[in-house]
Amino acid sequence: MKILHLVQPVEGGVARVVVDLVRAQVRTGLRPVVACPSDGPLAARASAAGAEVHEWRAVRNPGPGLAREIAGVRSLIREHRPQVVHAHSAKAGLAGRMAVRGRIPTVFQPHAWSFEAVRGGTASAALKWERFGARWADRVLCVSASERTAGERAGIAARWSVIHNGIDLAHFRPAGPGTRANARAVLGLPDGPPLLVCVGRLSRQKGQDVLLEAWRAMRPGTARLALVGSGPEEARLREAAPAGVLFAGAADDVRPWIHAADAVVLPSRWEGMALAPLEAMACGRPVVMTDVAGAGESLPPGQHAHCLVPPDDPPALAHALTALLSDPSLRTELGLAAQLHARAGFDVRRTAAQVTRLYQELVHPSGTTTRERTER
């Protein structure tokens, strides 16, 4: 089965999900083709994972080039004749669904809803499109039940599937007794107070500005903070950061930072289901997250009171971080439970197998054809 993955954006969590999915699909005999812009890390990483990669010229936001981008999708489909089109995130979902319009089984995966990422008239337009465009997706694939619920509450009438994100458990392994010290040595971090690590694109979505505001309210010197990532908000965050906050830049492999950490935080304003907390938990690190889509489903039972805080609430975040960073026994307890939970429930191979079954359902539907179901 040939799958056309149409992708924009080409960095961050969306790119990592696609690469992991491609790698698993190649191992099971599928033929993934990735079409994406060439100006990010996705193209090279997808190729290394075994996909056939082709350039699709598309910017991240809708604009005057949309007609050309749709034509590019149609050209790719004529050339490769995929059995399934899998469009990732809002822009690819827009261009892909408008190009295909139900003629080929189509999966749209939002990776967090576009109307949550913008405000004002842009948010209204994004919501109207998602309501309309759902008719041209044979399945809207959400990575958490809460992401689906958000879509339903917004009035999107779709044929839904929910398949949790997965991670590579062979890569994100628990840290041994000396791993934390070794990781800190490799990263050039001195011994000292507990280290809190935030992994994510420096953007409004990931909420590092909220984290820095919370950090200023905490007692100085009791812990250290490292922001791992790059992005459009970096300059503004650097200006606002208290003294001592480490801006580590983007990392091809975030494992050393996770292993070096005593705890991991992700103060996002919106998500579908974030990967960084799953990766941290699989390595045995406790996490603090904001209560956005996918967060509650990521955590082990019983950890919500310690590890889940409202979004855009610096005092609540500061309180949760202070409690965790000041209690080594609590960190150990939560980290071990998180490790067992993540390794039992978030294997990317399971995710890929569920996605493959979804493809098979769409390519070989029982009863009615894809076009008949789309036209209803």
pLDDT at 366: 65
Is residue 369's pLDDT more than 70? Answer: no
pLDDT at 372: 40
pLDDT tier at 333 (50, 70, 90 boundaries)?
Answer: very high
Q: What is the DSSP letter of 242?
A: P
One domain, residues 130 and 149: yes
In this prediction, residues 119-135 reach a mean pLDDT of 92
70-116 pLDDT, tens digit per residue, is 999 999 999 999 999 999 999 999 999 999 999 999 999 999 999 99
One domain, residues 188 and 275: yes
One domain, residues 200 and 262: yes
One domain, residues 43 and 100: yes
Q: Please list, residue by residue across 241-257, b when 16 or more beta carbons sit within 10 angstroms of its beta carbon and e when fewer do.
A: beeebebbeeeeebbbb
Is residue 344's pLDDT more than 70? Answer: yes
186-203 pLDDT, tens digit per residue, is 999 988 899 999 999 999
Answer whether residue 153 is part of any domain: yes
One domain, residues 191 and 326: yes
Answer whether residue 363 is part of any domain: yes
- Percent of the chain residues past pLDDT 90, beyond the cut: 88
3-state secondary structure of 43: helix
How far apart, in whole angstroms, are the C-alpha atoms of residue 270 and residue 205?
6
- Percent of the chain residues past pLDDT 70, beyond the cut: 97
Is residue 376's pLDDT more than 80? Answer: no
One domain, residues 290 and 237: yes
**Which domain CATH number covers 51?**
3.40.50.2000
One domain, residues 316 and 354: no
Is residue 371's pLDDT more than 80? Answer: no
252-304 pLDDT, tens digit per residue, is 899 999 999 999 999 999 999 999 999 999 999 999 999 999 999 999 999 99
Answer whether residue 174 is part of any domain: no
Answer whether residue 171 is part of any domain: no
204-263 pLDDT, tens digit per residue, is 999 999 999 999 999 878 899 999 999 999 999 999 999 999 999 999 899 999 999 999
The whole-chain average pLDDT of the chain stands at 93
Answer whether residue 172 is part of any domain: no
Domain that holds residue 79: 2-166+348-375
Q: Is residue 366 classed exposed, middle or buried when 0-12, 13-18 and 19+ CB atoms within 10 A define those classes? A: exposed
pLDDT at 367: 45
pTM beyond 0.75: the answer is: yes
pLDDT tier at 375 (50, 70, 90 boundaries)?
Answer: very low
Question: What total number of domains does the chain contain?
Answer: 2
Q: What are phi and psi of 67, to 5 degrees?
A: -60, -40
One domain, residues 206 and 337: yes
Kindly state the greatest CA–CA separation across the chain.
65
One domain, residues 33 and 156: yes
6-22 pLDDT, tens digit per residue, is 999 998 899 999 999 99
One domain, residues 322 and 367: no
One domain, residues 223 and 284: yes
Answer whether residue 332 is part of any domain: yes
Answer whether residue 88 is part of any domain: yes
Residue 333: which of 276, 280, 286, 295 has the closest Cα? 286
Q: Is residue 272 classed exposed, middle or buried when 0-12, 13-18 and 19+ CB atoms within 10 A define those classes? A: buried
Instruction: Identify the residue with better confidence: 9 or 176.
Output: 9
Which of 73-77, 121-125, 149-153, 163-167 is predicted least confidently? 121-125
Answer whether residue 259 is part of any domain: yes
3 has which bridge partners?
32, 84
One domain, residues 214 and 114: no
How far apart, in whole angstroms, are the C-alpha atoms of residue 119 and residue 323?
34
